[in-house]
Amino acid sequence: MKKGLLAIIIIALNSITLLAQNEIDALRYSQDAPLGSARFTAMSGAFGSLGGEFSALSLNPAGIGMYQFSEFTFTPSFHLNSTASYYGSKETDYNSGLKIANIGLVFSSPKGDSEWKRINFSIGWNQLANYNNNIRISGRNNTSSLADNILDVAQGHNIDDLNAFHSAPAFWTDLIDLSNNSVDTTTDWYAHDNGNYISHISGNSPKLQSKNSYTSGGKNEFVFAIGGSFNEQLYLGATIGIPTIDYYEKSTYNESEFEDTINGLHGFDFQEELSVYGSGLNLKLGAILRISEGLKLGAALHTPTAYSIEETYNTTLTTHFAEESFTEDSPYNSFEYDLITPWKAILSASAVVNKNILLSADYEMIDYTFSYLHSNNYAFKNENESIEELYAKTSNIRLGAEMNVNPFVIRTGYSRYGSAFANKDYSSENYSFGLGINNGGYYFDAAYVLSQGNSEHLLYNEDYISPIALVNTNHTLVLTLGFRY
C-alpha cells in the first residue's frame, strides 16, 4: 500500500523528458476559423475582393479603401458546440458560451480631386479561433492501460530521476512500484532502487477507461490598417496584425472496474492542466482591382506570424484502494518558446448579377509544414521533424452570396477548410445564413453558422491504443450593430 517514507522528489528542469509543447500545439495556433461581423460570417468570410467590411481586414486589407464613410461596428456571438466520440459506445458532450467576435472603428478621409480618392485608417479586433469545447470519451479496453505507458517511461530510472509529471506521481501513489521494494533499515531508503518497476494493473485485463477534457479561450487579432482608393479602380491596403492566444485545457483520465489488479487497486485518476498565453506580430498586404462595374478581383499575402508563447503545465495523480486514496501533485512547469506560423496567400473574385445579387469566392493557400518551434532552452528537433512529416500544403475555399430584397438583405455562404494532415482527411465545412437591415446611418445584421468536421483524440501513447474518432458540430449565432457617420 502507501509507502511508509516521506515522499521527497528532487526535480531539475533538465530531467523533464515530456513537455506540453509539440507539433499539435503548433497546428492549433496556426489554424484560423475567422468569425467576425454578422455580414462577414453569413457569407462564410468570402470577402477577399469585396471590401467595405471591417472583418475582412484580417483577410485582405485593400477593402478598407472602399469605405466612403467612417464606421463603428460591434459583434457579440453565441456558440453551442458538441463533440461525439466513438470508443465502443457513443459519448457526446456540449459546450456553450458568449464571446465578442468583432469590434472595429474605421476613419474615412476623402482627398477631393486627388487621384487617391481616399486614405482610410482603422483599428479594432477580430476573433480568429474559438477554443471552447468539451470532450467525453468512455469505453472498455482489455489490451492496455495508461499505467503500461507510465511503467515503460519509468524503467531504467532511479526513483529520484523519475519523470516529475508522470512516473514520479505514479510511484508515490503506488500505481507503479519497484520490482523489489524492500527498505534498507540503515538508510531508511529502498534497498533495490535499481530502475526496475512493476505495474499494479494488468494491462491486458478488462477495465473501464474514460476521459473528460475541457478547453476554453480563443485567438483574437488586434488590427491596425491603412488603405486607399486610386481612381476607384485599384484599392491597396496593409494591416499590421497583433494576434493573441489564450488557451486553457484541463483533462481528467480515469481507469476503474478492473477485473485483475495487484494490491486491491480499485481505480486511478490522472489530471493534466495546461495554460497558454501568447502574442504575435504579422503583416498583411492586399490589392483589389475593379475590372468593371460588376466584377472585382483581389489578392492578399500574409506573412508568417511570429508568436512568443508561455505555457504552464502540471499534473495530479490519485489512486483509489479499498481503504484509502493517495494523491501526488507534480510541480508547475513554466516554459517559454517561439512559434512561426505559415505564409498564407489568397486569391478572390466577386461579381454583381442583375444589380441586386452579389456573388463572391476566395481561394486560400497555406503550407502547414512551414510551422516552426524554437526555444533557447530546448531544441525542438523531433517536434519540427514531426511537423514536416505529419502536415501538408492545403487550401481553403470560401463562397458567399448576397441578395437585396428591400428592406432586407439575405445572405448565405459555404466554406471548406482543407486538412492540415498529409495522410488524414480532417477537413471541415461551414454552412452559413444571414439577414440584414441597412438604414444608411446604421445597420443590423444576424447570421447563423453550422460547422462540421472530424478529428481524433489520443488517450495515451499510440503504441498502446489507437486514436479515438471525434465528430465535431458547432452552432454559432452572430449579431452585429453598426453605425456610419
Per-residue pLDDT of the chain (485 residues; tens, 9 = 90+): 333 322 222 222 222 234 456 888 999 999 988 788 999 999 999 999 998 999 999 999 999 999 999 999 999 999 999 999 989 888 898 899 999 999 999 999 888 778 888 999 999 999 999 999 999 999 999 999 999 999 999 999 999 999 999 999 999 999 999 988 777 767 767 778 889 999 999 888 999 999 999 999 999 999 999 999 999 999 999 999 999 999 999 999 999 999 877 778 999 999 999 999 999 999 999 999 999 989 999 999 999 999 999 999 999 999 999 889 999 999 999 999 999 999 999 999 999 998 899 999 999 999 999 999 999 989 999 999 999 999 999 999 999 999 999 889 999 999 999 999 998 889 999 999 999 998 888 999 999 999 999 998 989 988 999 999 999 999 999 999 999 98
Q: Identify the burial level of 440 via C-beta atoms within 10 angstroms of its C-beta, where 0-12 means exposed, 13-18 middle and 19 or more buried.
A: exposed
- C-alpha distance from residue 76 to each of 103, 358, 478 (Å): 9, 25, 6
- Give SS3 for 56: helix
Residue 186, C-beta contacts closer than 8 angstroms, at least 6 positions apart:
none
CA angle 372, 376, 380 (to 5 degrees): 40
List, in sequence order, every residue forming a beta bridge with 81; answer none if it has no partner. Answer: 95, 474
- Identify the pLDDT of residue 1: 39
Q: pLDDT tens for residues 420-444?
A: 999 888 999 999 999 999 888 899 9
- Identify the pLDDT of residue 20: 55
Whether residue 128 is contained in a domain is answered as yes
The CATH number assigned to the domain holding 74 equals: 2.40.160.60
Count of C-beta atoms within a 10 Å radius of residue 203: 18
Q: Identify the burial level of 454 via C-beta atoms within 10 angstroms of its C-beta, where 0-12 means exposed, 13-18 middle and 19 or more buried.
A: middle
CB 375 within 8 A of CB 26: no
Whether residue 140 is contained in a domain is answered as yes
- Give SS3 for 415: strand
Return left, alpha or beta for 131; rule: phi > 0 is left, psi -120 to 50 is alpha, else beta. alpha
- Identify the pLDDT of residue 18: 40
CB 212 within 8 A of CB 252: yes
CB 441 within 8 A of CB 433: no
- Identify the pLDDT of residue 11: 26
Whether residue 201 is contained in a domain is answered as yes
**pTM for this predicted structure:** 0.89
Amino acid identity at 127: Q
Whether residue 104 is contained in a domain is answered as yes
Q: pLDDT tens for residues 124-159?
A: 999 999 999 999 999 999 999 999 999 999 999 999
Number of domains in the chain: 1
Whether residue 287 is contained in a domain is answered as yes
Closest CA to 181 of 159, 166, 201: 159
Q: pLDDT tens for residues 186-202?
A: 776 777 888 999 999 98
Whether residue 2 is contained in a domain is answered as no
Whether residue 6 is contained in a domain is answered as no
With cell 531504467, the residue in question is 156
Whether residue 7 is contained in a domain is answered as no
- Identify the pLDDT of residue 203: 87
Cα torsion 257, 258, 263, 267: sign: negative
Q: Which domain holds residue 196?
A: 13-484
Cell of 454: 472530424
